[in-house]
Structure 1
Amino acid sequence: MSIAQEIAKIQSELAPYSSKLIVVTKTRSIDELLSVHACGILDFGENRVQEMVDKQAQMPQDIRWHQIGHLQTNKVKYIAPFIHLIHSVDSFALLKEINKQAAKNNRVIPCLLQMYIAQEESKFGLDKQEATEILEHPELASLSNIEIVGLMGMATFTENTNQIQSEFKELKAIFETFKSQQMGIASNRVHWQELSMGMSGDYLLAVQEGSTMVRVGSAIFGPRA
């Protein structure tokens, strides 16, 4: 199937769940990205800052860029002028740096806290207690150029769908707990809206468990070279 056909198929699968498709474009060519844009897709996800910056300069300016990979504090300044949503906040120090760079660009940058739900050492993220500490941090209210709008997580890379499903259920439960407890709301910097979970191999499981946005690349483009 063509890129357009793959996108149409995925969008039809997501339609009953009102979940947003973010097309993961890492290592993909500008021509491939333009094919995605021609389908009306405006949400593009990148893992690496330098690759995103290079592509952003060459692509239509209506694209909403999502930082979905691990983000180092010293790289925030490069994406602060244009980033739409940072999915991968895993420390208060990073949140402070995003706030600082957003202020320099006269922007408020929406962020997701990245939660660690997988049974893999290689994944980044916070546990529930660490996330709670960020949401209850006495300095959070002073970060007027960021907004925490939800959580992100990655399931274990495995064929075991029961395990993946249970990890998504766990993340959804944390999200609902934080939301019901109005965690961080008093700071006026937190709004519980988005749950970013699900990738090419498991996005249907993710939306069934309550994901509001899925990050899909290889299911659209085929495996990376």
Structure 2
Amino acid sequence: MDIGANLKHILEEMTTAAEKAGRPGSAIRLVAVSKYKPALAVTEAAAAGQAIFGENYVQELVAKAAEVTVPVEWHFIGHLQSNKARQIAGLVTMIHSVDRLSLAEEIDRQWGKIGKVCDILVQVNVSGEASKSGTTAAAALTLVKEISQLANVRVRGLMTMPPFFDDPEAARPYFRELRELAATIASEAIPGVAMTELSMGMSGDFKVAIEEGATLVRIGTAIFGDR
């Protein structure tokens, strides 16, 4: 498994997809999903130039971050239980998966204790699948307005996970819906809220996600191999 070569290939494909959509390649950042992978794999990817790593589980993230000695940026991308937020306070620079006010309030509390502000994305379940976390598209605006009142949390955009399809084109309507929802929320001009980040697209469908406006793509398998 040549992680460096895989990264180079992914970045080239990201740039091509961006240019196809009339966007600069620099507008999209790669979140390397390192769950179930050892700290050594993160270190190897970092040596190849990868800066941002996404983790899904608090315990694994805390342990891995202690082992990785090179400077990297950690994002939390999995379902987060409110009672575990304190364990990653100050450790992650962004949480992609805030789907309820009670979680945002706990993040606000924990980051407030260390005098920092946490950048978050509101997770929206655009597909309505019962198996997926996320607020509904209909409730997203209200949730963003409520979170905007918290001093130590800053909403930077939205995140979604479409249903799994063999054909990436089938995911396009879900990515488009998230982009349109972000534009609707942005038009409200809520103080302290930005809709600059759209976290969407994974190994199988990231090109389509980029064409629909993704700014953060979450890719694991295509970089690190099967888990």
TM over 0.5: yes
- 40-49 vs 13-22, which moves further: 13-22
Counterpart for residue 129 of structure 1: 138
CA RMSD of aligned residues (A): 1.5
Runs of 5+ unmatched residues, structure 2: 20-24
Tell me the CA shift for residue 132 of structure 1. Answer: 1.6
What is the number of equivalent residue pairs in this alignment? 218
Matched, 1:33 2:42: yes
- Which deviations, in whole Å up to 9, do the C-alpha atoms of 1:99-154 show, x marking residues without a partner? 000011111000000000235321100112221221233x742x111100000001
Matched, 1:84 2:101: no
Structure 1 outlier segments of 4+, above 6 Å: none
| 1:66-145 → structure 2 map (5 Å cutoff) | 66-118=75-127, 120-137=129-146, 140-141=148-149, 143-145=150-152
| 1:127-206 → structure 2 map (5 Å cutoff) | 127-137=136-146, 140-141=148-149, 143-182=150-189, 185-186=190-191, 188=192, 190-206=193-209
Q: Give TM-score scaled by structure 1 length.
A: 0.92
Distance in 2 (alpha carbons) for counterparts of 1:167 and 1:129: 14
Distance in 2 (alpha carbons) for counterparts of 1:149 and 1:39: 28
- Which deviations, in whole Å up to 9, do the C-alpha atoms of 1:3-28 show, x marking residues without a partner? 11110011112224421000000000
- Which deviations, in whole Å up to 9, do the C-alpha atoms of 1:63-90 show, x marking residues without a partner? 1110000000000000012111000000
Matched, 1:208 2:211: yes
Q: Give TM-score scaled by structure 2 length.
A: 0.91
Counterpart for residue 20 of structure 1: 29
